[in-house]
């Protein structure tokens, strides 16, 4: 099989983004634009991937610390041809080089494979597209007899007849390496911008009698680039719509496919239902018959079969057991594991805790650094006091414990199996099994006390 090199051009400043962040590091689908391109490039299993970087170089390198990449700096941005020149020493003498762009994030692997497949022998290949409005793009001129590409005419140089052509150059191209080593040093910058244009290679190919063929993407949005925040928002919505279509094809029920955001990977079992305005970040796995209600956010979460996530729940780096119920308005923080049939209700926050099967924390509670056994009931307003101002401590609540409302458990402390804690208690010592433990001040009534009244203005 022919060796494939890939060069990704990612050195541009992106002035129109109006941001200090390098353009290729702005996110689409939860990943930097450049990471999206790189992910697709890797599906072709190339021999090497060269990344051309420039503006914000250190930040770009830090964002993608992949050891298999060849990083090449383009200190001066003197055009796309100049960018590829920087990679020339790293390219194999034989094989093919595919040129991609770090700000064109939606191009599909199927499209790139199609482009690779049209190249036979020593031909060059371009990715072109048919646009309803081709204004601003270079037009593809084909030979009437062979249909091969013979030139690319830029908008400013096109005559009225050529401007009617709807087939445009996307910039993505596939060139045999032996030609690149010959042609790139011959590029000239005798133009107004004093830049070296990669498209000038087409003229060199034609002059050398090399055939230039073309392939086209299934969707024109695949070739759209990001130049400003409006473009970024447009492509983000395309990405989300495409992801929603895939979920629907897999049998996921979406209340409104236009109101879901996946910023990573969402893996769904059978008969999953997702309501509106839900956000999924990182890797989220939803088991069979899981329901996620409106306005919930899940990040790096595994939700087992039959669980229900009620509206306005925020769950991060956690595991939710089968048939569990979470929310509404629950916050499940990193390190939390909920067992089967656990119930976590409204305005409950849980952090770095394990709650075993069939236990309940239904109302207005904070549970942090805690191990809770099975069949435990945590009353409303209960908190685990896990922080002493310097260190975190753990609370252990064993099986079949009942915690009365408005209780404070001051860690480190163990509530032994079967214990009951009376409402309004502050527990600072381990409690005995199967007994009621209280810690309340003696109730008194004060004679002669008068309720304060508001001062008159």
What gap in Å lies between CA 104 and CA 88, rounded to an integer? Answer: 22
Please report the pLDDT score of residue 405 as a whole number: 97
What gap in Å lies between CA 5 and CA 45, rounded to an integer? Answer: 9
Residue 129 host element (H or E): strand 124-130
What are the two backbone dihedrals, phi and then psi, of residue 54, each rounded to the nearest 5 degrees?
-150, -95
What gap in Å lies between CA 1 and CA 343, rounded to an integer? Answer: 56
Task: Determine the 3-state secondary structure of 365 from DSSP.
Answer: coil
Residue 1 confidence (pLDDT) above 70? no
Please report the pLDDT score of residue 454 as a whole number: 77
Residue 154 confidence (pLDDT) above 90? no
Determine the average pLDDT of the residues in 67-83.
91
How far are the Cα atoms of 34, 176, 353, 408, 427 from residue 386, in angstroms, in the given order? Answer: 42, 64, 11, 10, 12
Can 181 be counted among the known catalytic residues?
no
Same fold? 4-223, 251-437: no
On whether the 251-437 domain is CATH 3.40.1390.40, my answer is no
Quick: pLDDT tens for 108-150: 999 999 999 988 778 999 999 999 999 989 999 999 988 899 9
Catalytic residue among 55, 231, 363, 393: 363
Quick: pLDDT tens for 270-328: 999 999 999 999 999 999 999 999 999 999 999 999 999 999 999 999 999 999 999 99
Q: Model pTM?
A: 0.91
What gap in Å lies between CA 431 and CA 416, rounded to an integer? Answer: 6
Residue 88 confidence (pLDDT) above 80? yes
Task: Determine the 3-state secondary structure of 174 from DSSP.
Answer: strand
Q: What region does 401 belong to: left with phi over 0, alpha with psi -120 to 50, or beta?
A: beta
Please report the pLDDT score of residue 445 as a whole number: 64
Q: Structurally, what CATH architecture does the domain formed by 4-223 represent?
A: Alpha-Beta Complex (3.90)
What gap in Å lies between CA 29 and CA 26, rounded to an integer? Answer: 10
Residue 163 host element (H or E): helix 160-163
Domain ranges within the chain, ordered by starting residue: 4-223, 251-437
Q: How many CA atoms lie within 13 A of 172 on its CB side?
A: 30
Q: What is the largest CA-CA distance in the chain?
A: 109
How far are the Cα atoms of 90, 403, 425 from residue 43, in angstroms, in the given order? Answer: 21, 54, 60
Length of the chain: 457
Quick: pLDDT tens for 116-126: 998 877 899 99
HEC per residue, 424-450: CCEECCCECCCCEECCCCCCCCCCCCC
Q: Taking the CB of residue 235, how many other CB atoms lie within 10 A of it?
A: 22
Residue 101 host element (H or E): strand 96-101
Question: What average pLDDT is seen over the chain?
Answer: 94
Helix axes 109-118, 33-42, angle to 10 degrees: 50
């Amino acid at each position: 099989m022919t060796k494939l090199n890939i060069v990704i051009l990612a050195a541009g400043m992106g002035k129109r983004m109006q941001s200090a962040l390098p353009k290729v590091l702005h996110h689409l689908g939860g990943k930097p634009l450049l990471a999206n391109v790189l992910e697709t490039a890797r599906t072709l299993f190339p021999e090497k991937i060269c990344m051309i970087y420039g503006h914000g170089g250190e930040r770009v390198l830090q964002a993608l610390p992949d050891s298999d990449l060849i990083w090449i700096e383009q200190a001066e941005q003197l055009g796309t041809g100049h960018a590829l020149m920087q990679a020339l020493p790293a390219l194999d003498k034989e094989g093919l080089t595919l040129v991609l762009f770090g700000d064109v994030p939606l191009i599909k692997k199927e499209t790139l494979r199609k482009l690779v497949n049209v190249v036979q022998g020593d031909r060059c290949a371009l990715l072109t597209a048919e646009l309803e409005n081709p204004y601003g793009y270079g037009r593809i001129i084909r030979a009437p007899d062979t249909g091969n590409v013979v030139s690319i005419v830029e908008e400013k140089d096109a005559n009225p007849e050529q401007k009617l052509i709807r087939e445009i150059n996307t910039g993505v191209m596939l060139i045999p390496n032996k030609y690149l080593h010959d042609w790139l040093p011959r590029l000239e910058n005798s133009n107004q911008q004093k830049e070296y244009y990669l498209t000038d290679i087409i003229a060199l190919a034609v002059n050398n009698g090399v055939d230039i063929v073309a392939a086209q993407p299934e969707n024109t949005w695949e070739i759209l680039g990001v130049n400003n925040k409006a473009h970024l928002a447009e492509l983000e919505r395309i990405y989300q719509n495409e992801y929603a279509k895939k979920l629907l094809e897999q049998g996921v029920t979406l209340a409104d496919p236009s109101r879901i955001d996946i910023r990573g990977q969402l893996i769904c079992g059978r008969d999953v239902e997702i309501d509106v305005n839900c956000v999924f970040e990182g890797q989220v796995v939803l088991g069979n018959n899981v329901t996620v209600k409106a306005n919930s956010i899940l990040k790096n979460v595994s939700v087992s079969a039959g669980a229900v996530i009620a509206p306005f729940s925020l769950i991060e780096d956690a595991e939710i057991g089968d048939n569990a119920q979470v929310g509404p308005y629950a916050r499940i923080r990193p390190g939390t594991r909920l067992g089967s049939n656990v119930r976590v209700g409204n305005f409950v926050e849980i952090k770095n805790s394990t709650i075993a099967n069939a236990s309940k924390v239904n109302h207005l509670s904070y549970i942090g650094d805690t191990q809770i056994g099975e069949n435990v009931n945590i009353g409303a307003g209960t908190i685990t006091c896990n922080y002493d101002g310097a260190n975190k401590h753990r609370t252990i609540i064993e099986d079949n414990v009942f915690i009365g409302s408005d209780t404070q458990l001051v860690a480190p402390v163990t509530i032994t199996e079967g214990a009951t804690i009376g409402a309004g208690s502050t527990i600072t010592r381990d409690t005995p099994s199967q007994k009621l433990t209280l810690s309340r001040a003696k109730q008194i009534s004060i004679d002669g006390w008068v309720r304060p009244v508001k001062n008159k203005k």
